[in-house]
Amino acid sequence: MTRHSIMLLTAVLVLAYAGFVQWVWGWGEILAAWRDVGPGAILLALTLLVATYFVRTCRMRDYFPRETAGQFVRLFRVTQLHNILNIMLPFRAGETSFPILMRSEFGVPLAHGTAALLVLRLLDLHALMAAAGFGLVAAAGYSLWALALWAAFMVMPLAVFPLRGPLMAAARANRSTRLAKLMADVDNGIPSDVSAFVRAWLFTLVNWGIKVMVLAWVLNLLGVVSIPACFGGALGGELSSVLPVHAPAGVGTYPAGIVAGATAFGGAQQKDALAVLASASINAHLLTVVSALAGAAVALVSSAIAAKLSGKTHQGQG
């Protein structure tokens, strides 16, 4: 029981969530919304969401070029395994798998992998806010001042990067040993040159830009009329999966994040809007889970194919 406590907790919470949805709305009524969306749109949304996993893998390959050279398929499998663990384990416990996997698979030191993950998560948070900020621009009627503020926020990491040296020097001069160590770890995870940092930043923007836009589009297809509310809902759902308060598989917390984000962007003003939001949030959550499972399936199949081709190559050389 102790060894499998997290797995049992996950199973219990998922079953409880499924039972709650059935009791309040009924799964038949929830899933019926997909009939109006159509298979073509569903397939396109899934394809684009799975494509973001390849963007993440490209970011990791560029972040660790020496350790992962020529091993894209293997790195994609590690990325997907980390993603699945992140989704299924509560309270961000799955994050700890990344530095462990990078050490066991590619020999990346544990401290370096942990520091890199911290920096990448900060970039993720910035990109999420920047992508969802487009909803605020839409709410402001695409006015020039809103676009200017959004553009300034978009490039903020580039403005902060040159301050890295002075900030690290100030941290080292601080009497707090804990703060100095934390800043040293962060410094260890930041790319050493500006071009590598820009590439990591661009990969991050592309990844989250695609994901937030796809989720906003899907929420609109599922009945959320307001475009700003769609972007707010997409932001709320993804923030719920990035912040520490995260239920196993996102059950409850992810849909709640969508509803909260959409409501904050004015999505509950129309009649019956909350009922539409509840149904759309559950279906959007299901889509993200299915896309993660599809990405894991692609990783397993590609790994098997790569292993088979590698075996044939070794036989031919023998």
pLDDT reported for residue 207: 93
Q: What tokens does 176 get?
A: 């707090």
Residue 110 and residue 101: Cα distance in Å, rounded? 9
pLDDT digits (tens, 9 = 90+) for 247-287: 777 778 888 889 988 888 877 666 677 888 888 999 999 99
Q: Tokens 């219990």 correspond to what residue?
A: 12
pLDDT averaged over every residue in the chain: 83
pLDDT reported for residue 106: 92
pLDDT reported for residue 291: 92
Residue 172 and residue 104: Cα distance in Å, rounded? 31
> Could you tell me the pTM of the whole model?
0.85
7 contact partners, CB below 8 Å, separation of at least 6:
none
pLDDT digits (tens, 9 = 90+) for 91-150: 667 788 888 999 999 998 888 888 888 888 888 988 888 877 777 787 777 888 888 988
Across 221-247, b (16+ Cβ under 10 Å) vs e yields: bbbbebbbbbbbbbbbbbbbbeeeebb
Higher-confidence residue: 263 or 5?
Answer: 263
279 residue type, one letter? S
Which of the residue ranges 49-58, 81-90, 236-245 would you say has the lowest mean pLDDT?
A: 236-245
121 residue type, one letter? R
Residue 12, classified by CB atoms within 10 Å of its CB into exposed (0-12), middle (13-18) or buried (19+), is exposed
Share above pLDDT 70 across residues of the chain, in percent, rounded to a whole number: 86
Helices (H), the chain: 5-24, 27-31, 33-37, 39-63, 65-68, 72-88, 97-106, 110-139, 144-154, 156-160, 164-173, 177-189, 194-221, 227-242, 253-264, 273-317
